[in-house]
Amino acid sequence: MDGKLIIFSAPSGAGKTTIVRHLLTKYGDKIAFSISASTRAPRDGEVNGRDYYFISQAEFLHRIAKKEFIEFEEVYAGTFYGTLRTEVDRIWASGKHVIFDIDVEGGLHLKRKFGDRALAVFVQPPSLEVLKQRLYGRGTDSDEKLTERVAKAEKELGYAGQFDVILHNDDLDVACREAERLMLDFIEKKD
């Protein structure tokens, strides 16, 4: 089997984690999640080695030097996130495709690197106002972090046109069904 990449990118709060989790629950026999490394602190309920590999900045920089990342970014000032080469290799070796929940620039980076082997999906919220409501409603970030995320979101919404497809996340059930269709069409497509 030729392993593929299914990339879900969007500004924070658009709903990509929710959609990716839905796909993993339903299609865990076909896809597995690329667990990123991050230097941010775990949120309540997050588990090291399931949601992220939570590592220190010193370890992150060491891993950059050892060229362990396919891509990495300082997504927010002082907070690094990156995709480990070993994750993608591990998942492909298990006979599954890799699914990513990754920021907009990281998603485009992977798409440029892997071309037709990757499907890059931009999750589009109905508006910036709704995005803010979702972020605030999620209740996981401090006021300072929320302001930073909203400022970045305004810029990221402008990148939608560079993705293979835009997935509108207005009604969550509709968006999940559409995500399933896009993913299944892509992984069943012959090269």
> For residues 96 and 187, is the Cβ–Cβ distance under 8 A?
no
Q: How far apart are CA 64 and CA 120, in angstroms?
A: 24
Rounded to a whole number of angstroms, the minimum distance from the CB of residue 109 to ligand 5GP is 7
Q: Where are the beta strands (DSSP E) in 109-187?
A: 118-124, 165-168
Element (H, E) at 32: strand 31-33
If the CB atoms of residues 63 and 83 are measured against ligand ADP, the closer one turns out to be 83
Rounded to a whole number of angstroms, the minimum distance from the CB of residue 89 to ligand ADP is 25
Q: How far apart are CA 27 and CA 31, in angstroms?
A: 6
> For residues 29 and 41, is the Cβ–Cβ distance under 8 A?
no
Q: Which does 138 bind (CB under 5 to 8 A by kind): ligand ADP, ligand 5GP, none?
A: ligand ADP
Return the range that interacts with ligand 5GP (CB under 6 A); candidates 24-32, 58-66, 101-109, 167-175.
101-109
Q: Which does 36 bind (CB under 5 to 8 A by kind): ligand ADP, ligand 5GP, none?
A: ligand 5GP
Per rule CB under 6 A, is residue 123 in the interface with ligand 5GP? no
If the CB atoms of residues 44 and 191 are measured against ligand ADP, the closer one turns out to be 44
